[in-house]
Amino acid sequence: MKKLDKRLFRMIKNTKGQYIAVLAIIITGIFVFTAVSNSSINLSDSLDDYYMETNFADIFVTASGLPEKLESSLVGEADIKEAEARLVFDTPFVTDDNDEDVDVRVISVDKYESKINKLFIKSGRRTLSDNDVIVIEQFAAARNINVGDEIFLRINGRQYKFNVTAVASSSEYAYMMENEQTMLPDPEKFGVVYVEEDYIRKIYGSNGSFNEMLITTNNDESLDQTKEYLEDNLEKYGVRRVIKKQDQLSNGMLSQEIEGLEMMSKSVPIIFLIFAAIMLTTMLSRIVKKDRTSIGVLKALGFTDFEIMSHYLKYAASVGIIGGTFGSLMGTALSGVMTNYYLVFFNIPMLTVKVYYYRILISVLLSLIFCIISGFWGVRNIVKINPAESMKPEAPKKGKRIIIENIKIVWNHVPFSWKIVLRNIFREKKKFVFIGAAVAITCGMMVMTIWMVDIIDVMFNRHYDEFMKAEYNISFNGFQNEDIKNEIAEKIKYRNMEARNEVPFEIENGKKSKIISIIGLEENTVFYGFEDVKGNPVRLPSSGILLSSNLASSLDARVGDEVLLKNFMPGHDDGYVTVKGIIKQSLGINGYMNIDYMNENFLDKGVANGVYINTDDDVARSLNDMKTITIMSKDDLRGAFEEFTTVTAASMIFMVIFSGLLGFVIVYSMTLMSINERTMEFSSLRVMGFSKSEIFNMLVRENMIMTVLGIAAGIPLGMWLVDYMAKTYTTDIYTMNEPITLNNIVVSIILTIIFIVLAQLMTYAKVHRLDFMQALKSRIS
């Protein structure tokens, strides 16, 4: 082994504290990059394989009556490859508890195998006879339904018994939401069952027609043209909605999750790598400064600048290679666990986990490049060292008065130990800025993380306590005359009750469009508290429409714009409406109209498809004899929401740990460097009578000042990160527009201080182990 390589190992051993600290940051950054990016790729590949295996539909058509012969006539038109008609409807699921309200979506399927959206059988047999049923896995697990059990469905007021022949997964319901308004899966209250086509048509009474058509195409690029063809040519069959696969509810949620993972894999690791690079630059520049005499001797012995620089760059390269290798291997190992977790949460039965060797190589190269560049920046002054001059001790920097010293009235009252602290801070500006920046980043990320933990609960409570105030949302099976309120009023005692309409429309503004549910409300509704984006109250207008802020942003719509509403209801026309206001809405994406205006322009006068009720009565029991209604309570939604947030809270805990780790490692390593460089100074102070505890307190004071200033800078940084996250992670399901609270900031500051204090305590032992007398004896002359 070459002499310089032996010296390299001694150098690593002598600086093992800082070396391990930088290594920890690099491993963390590469670990996050590899784990999250691999999980994103695995999830995307698993989803693609699942869609291919089950022949996932490219277009979903909903209509009032589609004849079976339409399947064959559509094939070959407008790039259509396959077409399959089916019957779909929601109906009550009969349970032992008469007060329990559970619904299932009944979908007709071929007796042997469907062509499109094939079922992935988990247990049992696929072949169906008349009264057989296949139950979706999420619902079966939540209700403890097994193959061989009997279940009962109430269809058109009559109860039917079905035999469970299989439990299956469906690519159409990988994320099983009832509709856009439920927002969260609740498999105990909503499920999907599959019944043989001819049998379900007979008992449902569909008069030989279907109400949905699944379409696959030859080319994804032609989906828009195919959609337009279907809208134009199927209009006579009462087409209500034509949805492309990217807008399909389950697929849309999965796509947003994959996009979020990709964004996280690109942004978070960069922060760690940048700080690791800065730390490495600082470490090597100080090592070079300390080794000035040794470098001069090596040059005098004939070593070139390139050879000496390569020696120190090996130090940086070793950090990059070891950190990149360990980080990528750990990330690759965990990515399988993360992918498996996502597949269970989203119910994707086909796990595709691969070891991407090229990504391990990319991770190592990324780490190595960062370290080599930062290492070169730290050792670039080697070329300036002259062998003859390096034999002499380096001339000390010329002392200058710091700014505070010029303010005599203040400086004269500063204790001696504090004078040393302040002088050191102002004379080591780079270290001061670096530690301050590390604390700022730590505090900023804490603010963002604590805000995200808090906002999840705030969004739900604010939405259902201040925005949407209905305790019960009752939906009818079809439109009813508004007089149905009188029938309900005879059965329950209520505080408030209003009719409402909830109808899907495609809303267009220029080239941008979105399929959403528009809710028609009574003009002086008590069930909604509308506010604009500035928090000012907004009244429901007698005409026009209110848009939720995320919908307005998606459409690029402003107050006063004319937007087109494409009506999916048979026999009713499309129409333009004026945007009268843009409102805040934490959960969901909707438009809101006066119910009379909606009925007059887009539906029929005096109709409603649901009511909102506030009551202390047991609604499910009181309305048990009304067979064609669906009841959803606020408590049902809260239970589903709390289950959903358990997962999110766990991921936020990891974010807190990562954020704190960054500040901890940087403060710890920089303090260690400061101790090693200032051994002579501390030895002198010991001779002057300072105790080890007093010297440690000086270091604490230095870091305390940098911590306070770092936290002061970290709070606005955290606010910027919150704004960035709010804009980036706003989806159709939720809008992160809640402000940061004082409690968020206080908790973030406390957590930041805890991590910084832990780093300080780790350096306490280092100060007490210093041999101050030996430091005075071993001065190089």
Pick 587 or 560 by higher pLDDT.
560
In 3D space, the residue among 227, 377, 255 whose CA is nearest the CA of residue 316 turns out to be: 377
* Same domain for 688 and 668: yes
In 3D space, the residue among 441, 383, 430 whose CA is nearest the CA of residue 286 turns out to be: 430
pLDDT, residue 56, reads 93
pLDDT, residue 267, reads 72
Q: What's the mean pLDDT in 390-413?
A: 70
Q: Tell me the per-residue pLDDT of 157-179, one tens digit each, with 9 for 90 and over.
A: 788 999 999 999 999 998 887 77
Q: What's the mean pLDDT in 480-485?
A: 80
Is residue 150's pLDDT more than 60?
yes
* Distances from the Cα of 221 to the Cα of 244, 256, 499, angstroms: 11, 20, 43
Q: Tell me the per-residue pLDDT of 58-83, one tens digit each, with 9 for 90 and over.
A: 999 988 888 888 888 888 888 899 99
In 3D space, the residue among 669, 703, 574 whose CA is nearest the CA of residue 15 turns out to be: 669
* 289 in a structural domain: yes
Is residue 472's pLDDT more than 50?
yes
pLDDT, residue 130, reads 83
pLDDT, residue 582, reads 93
**Three-state secondary-structure class, residue 86:** strand
Cα four-point dihedral sign 425, 429, 434, 439 = positive
Pick 97 or 173 by higher pLDDT.
173
pLDDT, residue 344, reads 64
> What total number of domains does the chain contain?
4
| Residues pairing with 623 in the sheet | none
In 3D space, the residue among 326, 298, 324, 322 whose CA is nearest the CA of residue 311 turns out to be: 298
Report the amino acid identity of residue 272: F
pLDDT, residue 781, reads 41
* Same domain for 640 and 781: yes
Greatest mean pLDDT range, 201-215, 286-300, 518-532, 720-734: 518-532
What radius of gyration, in Å, describes the C-alpha atoms of the chain? 34
Is residue 547's pLDDT more than 90?
yes
**Three-state secondary-structure class, residue 310:** helix
User: Exposed (0-12), middle (13-18) or buried (19+): which is 277, by Cβ within 10 Å?
Assistant: buried
Report whether 197 contacts 108 (CB < 8 A).
yes
Q: Is the pTM of this model over 0.75?
A: no
pLDDT, residue 564, reads 92
pLDDT, residue 722, reads 82
pLDDT band at 195 (very low <50, low <70, confident <90, very high): very high
* Same domain for 126 and 31: no
Q: What's the mean pLDDT in 185-209?
A: 84
CB atoms within 10 A of CB 309: 18
CB atoms within 10 A of CB 68: 13
* Same domain for 592 and 724: no
The CA distance from 279 to 283, in Å, is: 6
Q: Which helix (H) or strand (E) holds 105?
A: strand 103-109
End-to-end CA distance of the chain: 30
* Same domain for 606 and 502: yes
* 71 in a structural domain: no
Is residue 760's pLDDT more than 90?
no
Pick 481 or 105 by higher pLDDT.
105
pLDDT, residue 146, reads 93
Report whether 647 contacts 738 (CB < 8 A).
no
Mean pLDDT for the chain?
82
Is residue 529's pLDDT more than 70?
yes
Is residue 354's pLDDT more than 80?
no
* 421 in a structural domain: no
Among the candidates 551, 580, 614, a domain finishes at: 614
In 3D space, the residue among 476, 519, 521 whose CA is nearest the CA of residue 498 turns out to be: 521
Q: What's the mean pLDDT in 421-430?
A: 75
Convert 667-681 into a string of H (helix), E (strand) and C (coil).
HHHHHHHHHHHCHHH
Q: What's the mean pLDDT in 617-625?
A: 76
Q: What's the mean pLDDT in 659-664?
A: 72
- The string of DSSP letters for 178-238 reads SSTTT-S--TTTEEEEEEEHHHHHHHHT-TTEEEEEEEEES-GGGHHHHHHHHHHHSGGGT
* 620 in a structural domain: no
DSSP-derived secondary structure letter, 111: S
CB atoms within 10 A of CB 689: 7
pLDDT, residue 248, reads 85
* Same domain for 582 and 487: yes
* 625 in a structural domain: no
Cα four-point dihedral sign 133, 135, 140, 146 = positive
pLDDT band at 471 (very low <50, low <70, confident <90, very high): confident
| Residues pairing with 528 in the sheet | 468
Looking from the CA of 292 toward its CB, the CA atoms found within 13 Å total 18
pLDDT band at 214 (very low <50, low <70, confident <90, very high): very high
Pick 333 or 127 by higher pLDDT.
127
* Same domain for 253 and 389: yes
What tokens were used for 684? 């002198």
Alpha-carbon dihedral angle through residues 308, 310, 315, 318, given to the nearest 10 degrees: -160
Q: Tell me the per-residue pLDDT of 667-722, one tens digit each, with 9 for 90 and over.
A: 777 777 777 767 777 777 777 777 778 778 887 888 788 888 889 988 998 888 88
* Same domain for 490 and 460: no
Among the candidates 205, 233, 265, a domain finishes at: 205
Q: In the structure, how many helices (H) and strands (E) does the chain have?
A: 23, 20
* Same domain for 781 and 644: yes
Looking from the CA of 592 toward its CB, the CA atoms found within 13 Å total 29
* 344 in a structural domain: yes
% of the chain beyond a pLDDT of 90 = 18
* Same domain for 656 and 606: no
CB atoms within 10 A of CB 704: 16
Convert 581-600 into a string of H (helix), E (strand) and C (coil).
EEECCCECCEEEEEHHHHHH
* Same domain for 598 and 499: yes
pLDDT band at 107 (very low <50, low <70, confident <90, very high): very high
* Same domain for 487 and 461: no
Q: What's the mean pLDDT in 471-489?
A: 82
Is residue 220's pLDDT more than 60?
yes
pLDDT, residue 533, reads 83
pLDDT, residue 448, reads 82
% of the chain beyond a pLDDT of 70 = 89
Q: Tell me the per-residue pLDDT of 306-335, one tens digit each, with 9 for 90 and over.
A: 888 888 888 889 998 998 898 888 888 888
pLDDT, residue 546, reads 94
pLDDT band at 638 (very low <50, low <70, confident <90, very high): low
pLDDT, residue 87, reads 92
Among the candidates 395, 420, 440, a domain finishes at: 395
Cα four-point dihedral sign 19, 22, 25, 28 = negative
Domain around 596: 472-614
The CA distance from 100 to 621, in Å, is: 9
pLDDT, residue 733, reads 63
pLDDT, residue 780, reads 44
Q: What is the largest CA-CA distance in the chain?
A: 104
pLDDT, residue 118, reads 93
pLDDT band at 262 (very low <50, low <70, confident <90, very high): confident
* 417 in a structural domain: no
* Torsions phi, psi for 182 (to 5 deg): -70, -30
* 561 in a structural domain: yes
Q: What's the mean pLDDT in 296-311?
A: 83
Q: Tell me the per-residue pLDDT of 487-511, one tens digit each, with 9 for 90 and over.
A: 888 888 888 899 999 888 889 998 8
**Crossing angle for the helix pair 692-729 and 742-769, to the nearest 10 degrees:** 150
Report whether 623 contacts 484 (CB < 8 A).
no
In 3D space, the residue among 639, 710, 551 whose CA is nearest the CA of residue 185 turns out to be: 639
**E strands, 606-657, where?**
607-614, 629-633
What tokens were used for 780? 């190089």
